[in-house]
Amino acid sequence: GESVGLHLPTLSVQEGDNSIINCAYSNSASDYFIWYKQESGKGPQFIIDIRSNMDKRQGQRVTVLLNKTVKHLSLQIAATQPGDSAVYFCAENSGSGSEKLVFGKGTKLTVNP
């Protein structure tokens, strides 16, 4: 059949609820991870990062959790607001000293008022 583009996972939440966006990565050698937010018509915006020697890092209203055992990364957004509606990407650095990032396909978050 005809391909219509990437099928993004979607998450729809009510304003004020907490959101959890998940990401699986494949490279066990990855040692640095970043979450980006991309609003329509804009470039990806850095939200928060975490190194592989940590399992949790908190920012303002956001928390990133890293589970290296199952190669899973999550972004938690507290008290989600309509302005949080965007596509969220996780990115991993493959280690070995390179600054090259590999991006996931993204999750579309919609916050309903």
Partner 1 sequence: DAGVIQSPRHEVTEMGQEVTLRCKPISGHNSLFWYRQTMMRGLELLIYFNNNVPIDDSGMPEDRFSAKMPNASFSTLKIQPSEPRDSAVYFCASTSYWASYFGSGTRLTVV
Binding site for partner 1 (CB under 8 A): 3-6, 32, 34, 36, 42-46, 49, 89, 91, 93, 98-101, 103, 105-106
Between 13 and 57, CB nearer to partner 1: 57
Least distance to partner 1, CB of residue 6, Å: 5
Cα 86 to Cα 50, 80, 81, distances in angstroms: 21, 12, 11
Cα 83 to Cα 15, 16, 55, 58, distances in angstroms: 10, 12, 27, 19
Between 15 and 68, CB nearer to partner 1: 68
Least distance to partner 1, CB of residue 20, Å: 22
- Distance from the Cα of residue 42 to its chain's centroid: 16
Within 13 Å, how many C-alpha atoms sit on residue 28's CB side?
Answer: 2
Between 36 and 77, CB nearer to partner 1: 36
Least distance to partner 1, CB of residue 113, Å: 27
Least distance to partner 1, CB of residue 87, Å: 10
The Cα–Cα gap between 57 and 63 comes to 6
Amino acid at 113: P
